[in-house]
Structure 1
Amino acid sequence: MIRSSAFANKSYAILGLARSGMATLDALHASGARILAWDAREDLRQKASEKAIIADPLEVDLSDYDAVVVSPGVPLNTHPIRDKASDDGVPIIGDIELFAQARRSLPPHRVVGITGTNGKSTTTALIHHIIQSAALPTHMGGNIGLPILSQSPLPAGGVYVLELSSYQIDLTYSLDCDISVLLNISPDHLDRYDSFNAYAASKARLFDMTSAEHKAIISGTDEKSQLIIGYLREEGRIDDIVDLSGATAAGQENWPSLQGPHNLENAITAACVAEKLGISQKQISAAIESFRGLAHRMERVAEQDGVLFINDSKATNPASTGPALGAYPKIHWIVGGLPKSDDLKECEAFFGNVVQAYTIGDAGPMFGNLLEPHMSVDPCEMMLTAVQHAAANAQPGEVVLLSPACASFDQFKDFEARGECFRCAVNSVIENNLVGTATGGSVS
């Protein structure tokens, strides 16, 4: 884990003891800090009791504490800890801010920070893969993989690659990334922000923390991303600003795990970051070709009788699903869940690639009404039904794609559980030889 003299003899209150919270507890304790900790779950409180005072920070005088460290999952717009900390005059921070404060005590290194609405995890993992392939020491963390504080410090010359959600940026004040990356901005998580503008401003704060001598890379063609580029250039504080919104690249046919226009943008961005890190073009190209992708993100689950099954359960909004539909010419599209919007406008450009849609979840009836003027729709409601019908209808050369354009919480605990359900259903139809078995028209 990361230990730092920056935390020694200081006092911290930790709210939330899930993965990042427990990693924070361990790192602070090992660094000689005094800790108060709390979580709604009794088992987690018990687990923390040997290293911290167990008490609810809402019921304790926090004025002598150096900070309240909260989980990114704590909704600061509604949780009373915000007012309590303000009243007691103590800042609210997250584990990424603690990492930023610890950097001075770590061996010389660089940090790449990646934010955006869609594509963060894939781009982060791809950058990490390229760095690893170039034999440079590297860790991946933040909103992906292991909490950064739980990982051992890198040797000199290492590169920390951090996926940063808006929630994490909200809790961070001094993370000066050597390379700050913004992929795109579209409406999302608006239950946590007063407006879309406020959400975009949260993303933009990554650049507010970036020093003049460091680098800013922005790839989004959307309005908010372009406004941020314009602002950064007008401000003139950061010397090296790269706009990738019009960039192109050849060779995507050789990247099996990076199909679709969105993954082309992710690969272009990752290659630009790697180039800024001094990695050769030859090393970058070879690493992109060998990248195997992430689970639930345009993941190739199986291929049977010429039909490809793709798990894109991570596509939790239409802006993420649209490019997925652009990845293949003939798609049996499984769509639906807990909707984040009442339209599919960001998918419309790719409707011509859809052979048939199979709706599931709460959004099923609404999406069915939206899609019926454009394509055949099979109202399935449940995942297994949708996979069975899509597999039966699919012909060689076609794709069965789960890309829900919705959150998962109507039927599943998270998008990972939804993706695993899809995987199990695909295995079932393959084992039972149900691929391409429809006769006399589509199964419905």
Structure 2
Amino acid sequence: MIPVKGYEGQKVAVLGLGRSGLAAAHALEAGGADALCWDDSAEARDRAEGQALILHDLSKPSAWQDVAALIVSPGIPHLYPEPNKIIAAAMEAGVPVDNDIGLFFRSFADEDWDSFDVSPKVVAITGSNGKSTTSALIHHVLQQSGRPTQLAGNIGRGVLDIDRAHDGEVVVLELSSYQTDLARALTPDVAVFTNLSRDHLDRHGGMGGYFAAKRRLFAEGGPDRAVIGVDEAEGVYLAGQLSEGPSDDRVIRISVDRKLSGPGWQVFARKGFLSEYRKGRQVGSIDLRKIKGLPGTHNHQNACAAYAVCRTLGLAPKQIETAFHAFKGLPHRSQLVGERDGVAFVNDSKATNVDSARAALSAFKNIRWIAGGLGKDGGIESLTADDLSGVTKAYLIGHSAREFALRLGDVPHEICETMGQAVARAAEDAQSGDTVLLAPAAASFDQYPDFEKRGEDFTRLVASVLSGN
């Protein structure tokens, strides 16, 4: 646990008692604060009471007397589409609003660091797609290279629930826009921007607000090094804002769209080959085509980002390449579930928007595509004929099944409604060389509590198919 600094002897309110909220409350108590906890859910309040935390009804007008700060869980809106009433009341009372990420950055360093030979570092990764894989890949490479490391944030453990730092340790944080948007302190040593696509627009009031939330990771604390995906205009803009000139190697540009050139530091992947250039010269390369845990262009972008970070941390290209080959991938992200008679079954339940689904579709051929769920703004309207060229047939499920069907043009498709029916029909139709791919391009909430449960259901159903049951 990371004890929170700066609130000793003060009352700090905590709104939202999920994983991050409970960890924040305990970390505040460990730092000498009085955590006053609240959640609209009676079940969550009971859980907090069971952990000896103090409940404090933050909906009452008198709730803010002598309260030094309000710590908010990431899922609770503070501005768009409209502020949560409790957060609005705190702001009206002049109470500062923060989250666990802000508390972490103000509290991570401690007096033990004076005796360390190598100061710990924090690597923070944000972006629309690829955050989890990039974070896990960096963590994996560091582990394989013998470097002490912890993985936290939107993946792994809550940021305040990790262990206190060791000499030379690297903490790898995956940060969503919900987390970067509100944190009052953001000071990573290395910050990564993978890419940007339309997502969470209601929460941020549009694309401008969404990008602004991501940009805060770079603008608030000024990382020593920034790894920026420049395949979208926003990434090009961000890299330009951070750089002092073409040869400024504090900014590492990455791409999977084109070869990058110039006197600075670049990492890019083309036709399955990753290349690193510095001062106009190639200094490293990796053939990504044979790395089973990183299939497709979208994973090659993740590899470029992870490679660039590991190079800034002093690892050699060969060390990174060896570790890449040992990476098995993450559940629900282009995860190979199994194979039978030349048919592969791949779980990419994390593909909850059209851009991540497009990336998954580009990674395979002869696809039996399982898609649908609770469609987001625009559905799959932006998918082109080229995007769908590898789809042999689509099997559509959930709330948006019929809406998706209208957008598929000449692509053969079938309304299956449920995951069970879709897996059964796709497996029945599949021939050797086909890939049965779950890449929903939609949220899961019409049929499942989250994308993990959706992916687990797919995996269970595939296991039954593979066993012949």
Residue in structure 2 matching 1:362, options 399, 411, 429: 399
List structure 1 runs of 4+ shifted beyond 4 angstroms. none
Which letter does structure 2 place at the counterpart of 1:101? R
Tell me the matched-pair count.
430
Gaps of 5+ in 2: 114-118, 259-267, 275-285
Write out aligned runs for 1:185-334 (5 A).
Answer: 185-211=196-222, 214-233=224-243, 240-245=250-255, 246=258, 247-248=268-269, 249=274, 250-334=286-370
Encode CA deviations 1:21-76: one digit per residue, 9 max, x unaligned: 11111111122111111112334323433644311223134252221001001111
Q: Distance in 1 between matches of 2:108 and 2:72?
A: 20
- Name the counterpart of 1:439: none
Residue type of the alignment partner of 1:40: D
Q: Which moved more, 1:335-344 or 1:45-54?
A: 45-54
TM-score (norm 2): 0.88
1:153 to partner: Cα distance? 0.8
Residue 193 of structure 1 contacts residue 199 of structure 1 at CA under 8 Å; is this kept in 2?
Answer: yes
8 Å CA contact 1:34, 1:52 repeated in 2: no
SS in 1 for 2:227: strand
Pairs within 5 Å for 1:8-157: 8-49=8-49, 51-59=52-60, 60-77=62-79, 78=82, 79-105=84-110, 107=113, 108-157=119-168
Q: Which residue, 420, 426, 433 being the options, matches 1:390? A: 426
Aligned to 1:438: none
* Secondary structure of the corresponding residue to residue 202 of structure 1: helix
Once residues 233 and 253 of structure 1 are traced to their aligned partners in structure 2, the CA distance between those partners, rounded to angstroms, is: 32
Of 215-224 and 195-204, deviating more is 215-224
In structure 2, distance between residues paired with 1:234 and 1:277: 22
Whole-angstrom CA distance in 2 between matches of 1:4 and 1:173: 14
Give the aligned residue type for 2:449. Answer: K
Q: Does structure 1 conserve the Cα–Cα contact (< 8 Å) formed by 2:108 and 2:164?
A: no
Confirm or deny: 8 A CA contact 1:35 1:51 kept in the other structure.
no
The aligned counterpart of 2:263 is none
* Structure 2 SS opposite 1:254: coil
Provide the aligned C-alpha RMSD in A.
1.9
d(CA) in 1 for partners of 2:90, 2:438: 43
Q: 2-side partners of 1:231 and 1:124: how far apart?
A: 24
Q: Which secondary structure state, in structure 1, belongs to the residue aligned with residue 215 of structure 2?
A: helix
Determine the C-alpha separation between the residues in 1 that align with 2:63 and 2:448.
Answer: 39
Equivalent-residue separation in structure 2 for 1:343 and 1:310 (angstroms): 22
Q: After the TM superposition, which residues 415-426 of structure 1 pair with which residues of structure 2 at under 5 Å, given as runs?
A: 415-426=451-462
How many Å separate the matches in 2 of 1:211 and 1:189? 25
- Contact 1:322 / 1:346 at 8 angstroms: preserved in 2? no
* Partner Cα separation in structure 2 for residue 57 and residue 270 of structure 1: 42
Provide the rounded CA distance (Å) in 1 between the counterparts of 2:382 and 2:299: 16
Q: Secondary structure at the match of 2:413?
A: strand
**AA paired with 1:54?**
L
Q: CA deviation at 1:417?
A: 1.0
SS in 2 for 1:351: coil
Query: What is the CA–CA distance in structure 1 between the aligned matches of 2:442 and 2:32, rounded to whole Å?
Result: 44
What displacement does 1:235 show? 9.8
- More off after superposition, 53-62 vs 326-335: 53-62
**Aligned amino acid, residue 143 of structure 1:** N
- The question of whether the paired residues in 2 share the 8 Å contact of 1:323 and 1:347 is answered with no
Higher helix fraction (1 or 2): 1
CA offsets per residue over residues 170-216 of structure 1, 9 Å max, x none? Answer: 1212221111100011111112121111111111111112336x011
Q: Residues 411-442 of structure 1, C-alpha deviation per residue, up to 9 Å, x if partnerless?
A: 11110111111112212222337xxxxxxxxx
Whole-Å separation in 2 of the counterparts to 1:57 and 1:308: 51
